[in-house]
Chain A
Amino acid sequence: DAMVIQNPRYQVTQFGKPVTLSCSQTLNHNVMYWYQQKSSQAPKLLFHYYDKDFNNEADTPDNFQSRRPNTSFCFLDIRSPGLGDAAMYLCATSRPNEKLFFGSGTQLSVL
């Protein structure tokens, strides 16, 4: 049974057209993360939440925003996708100081 669920698995958007990726969890974990992963590279942390506390990475572009309306859901908004934003976006959850559990990812294509 999937515990960290990402929708959709594949997302195609147009250059400059806003897109939202979603993540939900059934684990009741405090911490939720968004990572960006390009072609076989290491996942790169964009931001994470501890409960409602938002932690943005210094090098995350302003084009990327996130919302966490409740414990179970977290969204990644890309306001104006560029070609360079095409990547796999991975959501993960954890309890504080414990293991990270990942969803299956959303593969984003930008046309």
Chain B
Amino acid sequence: GQQLNQSPQSMFIQEGEDVSMNCTSSSIFNTWLWYKQDPGEGPVLLIALYKAGELTSNGRLTAQFGITRKDSFLNISASIPSDVGIYFCAGQTTSGTYKYIFGTGTRLKVLA
């Protein structure tokens, strides 16, 4: 089946540093979504990408839909302590059933 490989698996960074994470697959996806999840809570949508090559920002967050439709990255600039959490990418498959599968997650820790 389709898989999304997300990297890095975890990151420890200093407050104020920029962060970059990405998702890759051997399959094509129609839509990419990026989520942040805090412990014990549901994922919260950060950015949605609908077209190959699309670059979208949301405050300090920037994400891009890869031109091949097989990858996406998320950048966080000037990290702050509340950026701590697990970040997931999700891709909508081309099966025509509106199905989304999730990447393996990037656990981010920010050191003040």
Q: Taking beta carbons and an 8 Å cutoff, which residues of A are in contact with B?
A: 4, 6, 31, 33, 35, 40-45, 48, 50, 55, 58, 88, 90, 92, 94, 96-105, 107
Contact = CB atoms under 8 A, between A and B. Distances in A.
Contacts of A43: 43, 88, 102
A50 B48 contact: no
B98 A105 contact: no
Given A40-B86, A43-B102, A45-B100, A99 B45 contact: yes
A-B pairs, 7 with minimum CB distance: A102-B42, A42-B102, A105-B42, A99-B48, A104-B42, A31-B98, A43-B102
B74 to A, nearest CB: 15
B30 interface: yes
Interface of B: 1, 4, 30-31, 33, 35, 40-45, 48, 50, 86, 88, 90, 92, 97-105, 107
Given A100-B45, A105-B42, A94 B104 contact: no
Nearest to B93: A45
A42 B43 contact: no
A50 to B, nearest CB: 6
| Majority secondary structure of chain A interface residues (helix, strand, loop or mixed) | strand
Nearest to A94: B98
Contacts of B92: 97
Contacts of A55: 97, 99
Given A40-B86, A42-B102, A97 B40 contact: no
A107 B89 CA distance: 22
Nearest to A49: B98
A35 B105 CA distance: 15
Contact of A99 (B1, B4, B33, B101): B33
Given A40-B86, A41-B105, A55-B99, A97 B42 contact: no
Nearest to A91: B42
Nearest to A99: B48
A98 to B, nearest CB: 8
A42 B40 contact: no
